[in-house]
A and B are shown apart, each in its own frame.
Chain A
Amino acid sequence: MRSVYFAFAITFVITLTGCSSKSVEKPSEVAIEQESGDFNGELEGFADEFEVEEVYDPFSGYNRAMTTFNDKAYEYAIKPVAEGYKWVLHEDIRESVDNFFKNLYFPMRFVNNVLQGKMRNAAEESVRFVVNSTAGVLGLFDVAKKYCELEPHNEDFGQTLGFYGVGSGPHIVLPLLGPSNLRDLIGMYPDSYLSPLDYTERNYDTLTDTPAEYLGAKTLEKVNYVSLNIDWYDDIKRDAVDLYPYLRDMYEQYRDKQIKE
């Protein structure tokens, strides 16, 4: 029995010294020896990690053309407009506009959190909506985040579908909106019913009544957003040798992560 205590004591001592100092040369040598076994040819060890899953892309011809169109539209229309807008309006105002739009999409986030069983997040979204719509003056100020440390939980119907195992389907680049896929495109339809920015006939009031008003509101939202992140697209773009597959893969990886969260 004593020998057991002794062995335990030794382990304990080694454990402690292991925590506090670097004097454990021996074990680290052992660890390196173990490693070198699977390190023949440094690249082999990484093979499984970067197995690229091919994105399903039957519309690549159209997608490529639309990516070029969007890129030019950004460079020659959206960005210059956003720059002018940025010059006119102070950053605080633009941030408030951004907050206002984000606050409007509360029903979408709430419903999709509930559909994915994320009740805690749904509850936090509700508190955020109530606090920001009142104390935050119609959503202009994100006081819930600033003072209650409540972060938004972005969920849309595309993510909900992905959560229940629906695959992304073919990649589709949308005019002006950019990369998407069939799953996310389908998801936009139910989400639009949860958005107070819509022009279709509803049995409750929406903020916009005609397609023109809707388009105006959406344009403001987009231009305002771009004005807050003006260098963002160019920063991303500079590492592309071929813009379309680059953006496509980034989008799919990003969505996969959002779905997993």
Chain B
Amino acid sequence: MKSIFKKILAVLAPFILSYNLQADEQSELKSRFLNKIDEIIVIVENKNITKEQRNADIVKSISPMFDFELMAKLSLGSTWKELSASDAKRFVELYVERMKQSYSAKIDAYEGEKVEINKIQQPKSNRMAFFTDLVGKEEKLEIVYKFHKPSQSIQGKEDWLVYDVEILGVSILKTDRAQFKEFLRTKSIGELMDALAKQS
């Protein structure tokens, strides 16, 4: 009888432990995330500063939580490995700049919506997904933030970083991957970079 208890316990203990570890990580990231949103709302609602200044402040605030560099690499799929070192560097710079501009513009369109976290999933120990609703006056917008935890922390960045955002089921990264892939079928990486440069 004794040994059965011991065995059961031995089997369960790691689960209980890891479950708690996960719950702990999740609640910590959740509070960071909510703090970040509050921080951004303060910036967006400050109409005393110029739009440019607001955008710059938004970028400064969100950058530590977003892994734009990883997104740039992932957006190219297998092509990424074929780039020369200088192209790779320039592509990442352009992509990151475009993302920052696009994000800050979208966030600046904020009009009193509320962010509610509905569900947190942790499919792997180093992946987490926040299912949120952006609740506006008329409609709700379902937005999923996907975080990953790099094995080594990156300087100037937080532990958990957003690597993809899904709006109403549309993944920003997937969409970019598809359009870049199609673009590169007939055009060069140089042309793609020129197109990206025009957007930011």
Contacts and interface: CB of A to CB of B under 8 A. Distances in A.
Interface of A: 1, 3-4, 7-8, 11, 14-15, 18-19, 22, 24, 27-28, 31-32, 34-36, 39, 42-43, 45-46, 50, 52, 55, 95, 151, 228, 231, 235, 238-242, 245-246, 249-250, 253-254, 256-258
B151 A32 contact: yes
A50 B177 contact: yes
B169 A253 contact: yes
A57 to B, nearest CB: 10
B83 interface: no
A253 B199 contact: no
A228 B73 CA distance: 36
A240 B6 contact: no
Contacts of B168: 254, 257
- How many chain B residues sit at the interface, stated as a range, is 35 or more
A258 B102 contact: no
Interface string B28-40: 1000000000000
Contacts of B23: 18-19
A245 B174 CA distance: 12
A235 B108 CA distance: 12
Interface string B88-111: 000000000010001001100100
Contacts of B175: 239, 246, 249-250, 253
Interface string B164-191: 0000111111111111111100000000
B186 to A, nearest CB: 10
A8 to B, nearest CB: 6
4 nearest interchain CB pairs? Answer: A257-B169, A18-B20, A245-B182, A249-B178
Contacts of A231: 109
Nearest to A249: B178
Contact of B183 (A1, A36, A241, A249): A241
